[in-house]
Amino acid sequence: MGNRFSCKTKTSSNNNGSKSSRRFGRSQRKLPSDEELLHMQALSLAIQHHQSSQRFEGSMSRRIGSTTSRRRSNPVSDPPLTTPKQSPEFLENIETKKIVLIHGEGFGAWCWYKTIALLEESGLIPTALDLTGSGIDLKDTNNVTTLEEYSKPLLDYLQNLPEDDKVILVGHSSGGACVSYALEHFQQKISKAVFLCGTMVSDGQKPFDVFAEQLGSAEQFMKESNFLIHGNGKDNPATGFMFEKQQMRGLYFNQSPGKDIALAMVSMRPIPLGPIMQSLSLSKEKYGKGRRFYIQTLEDHALSPDIQEKLVRENPPEGVFKIKGSDHCPFFSKPQSLHKILLEIAQIA
């Protein structure tokens, strides 16, 4: 099911192979044998994780005092792959061992395979969810029109948590909007919210607004983009979009290993437009009381470091961490560094 990640408020670098999820609504061309094998391994991994993702193990334990999460100015480099494991005993006294991983646009639970394994080896309990119309979820992305519907697997998960249970949420890219939406509606069940190069929007903003510098304004994108999908016919508004493979490589995977890129190319699905074009309503009483942390990726071509810094300035989180040498997908390019940062955040009292 998973694999590993590691990261701190510093820099990191690490690559690993990848296996995961399944492809829907894509062309029927015959895959090369190696790619087909990778695809089947990915599908098997995703199904196994999907079947076990409903478990609710572990119990809450009392907090221990730990490092504070103030912003750090110096990013760190990824340690070698032989980084010693964190013993489960060391993590016994954290508030919650449950970490819920929310993927970004076009991705699925499959993208966290390295992170899942690393977190499990450290004694934590990770769960990676497929958002509606993503990964192996069967919903047609053209029919996903609201952020609430897109976030439903996460909202259902939080709704079904035992009353006094809490989780740490990690949202990648536009998955950050789902985390913000969850904070507004289930703040009492979220110990900490982590935005991984994510759309940490302010009240009244659309998730798409964060990418406007890269993609143009929402209005311009809807009129001029070559990547739009009209699931209800050309005469009706666009329902989604998907970048060409070469563009995805440059935007998302400029530092990622080739095997992980191959996995993504056969696993990514179209992105529903409705959820990212919806303005979020976030209140000080609910969202404002959540504990938020931001992880910046310093070689990111999809969401530049300058834009990430702007998000942090405009909507300050409790702590800011940085991964040096990471593209927009640190779970592929710098898994060890990402893992270290997640461990550190989990232990902040």
Whole-number CA gyration radius for the chain: 19
Which amino acid is located at 326 in the chain?
S
Amino acid at 267: S
Q: How far apart are CA 324 and CA 8, in angstroms?
A: 10
Q: Which residues contact 234 (CB under 8 A, 6 or more apart)?
A: none
Share of the chain above pLDDT 70, in %: 70
Q: What is the pLDDT of residue 322?
A: 98
In which residue are the tokens 């950050």 written? 176
Catalytic annotation, pick one of 328, 333, 337, 339: 328
Secondary structure (3-state) at 249: helix
The catalytic position among 13, 21, 122, 173 is: 173
Give me the pLDDT at residue 212, please: 80
Sign of CA dihedral 192, 179, 130, 110: negative
Reading the block at residue 136, the tokens are 């192996």
Let me know if 328 is a catalytic residue: yes
3-state secondary structure 130-188: CCCCCCCCCCCHHHCCCHHHHCHHHHHHHHCCCCCCCEEEEEECCHHHHHHHHHHHHHH
**In the CATH hierarchy, which fold is given to the domain comprising 33-213+245-346?**
Rossmann fold (3.40.50)
pLDDT at 293 over 50: yes
Residue 25 has pLDDT above 50, yes or no: no
Is pLDDT at 5 greater than 50 in this prediction?
no
Residue 218: its pLDDT value, please? 64
- Residues paired with residue 168 on neighbouring β-strands, in sequence order: 99, 192
Edge to edge, the sheet with strand 271-272 lists 228-229, 240-241, 271-272
pLDDT in tens, 254-287: 999 999 999 999 999 999 999 999 999 999 999 9
Element (DSSP H or E) covering residue 108: none
pLDDT value at residue 347: 94
Residue carrying the six token digits 């935005």:
195
Mean pLDDT value across the chain: 81
pLDDT in tens, 183-238: 999 999 999 999 999 999 999 999 999 988 766 666 766 666 788 999 999 889 99
Told to judge if 279 belongs to the known catalytic residues of this protein, a careful annotator would answer no
Question: Which of 8-22, 260-274, 296-310 has the lowest average pLDDT?
Answer: 8-22
Catalytic residue among 130, 137, 260, 300: 300
Determine whether 12 is an active site residue. no
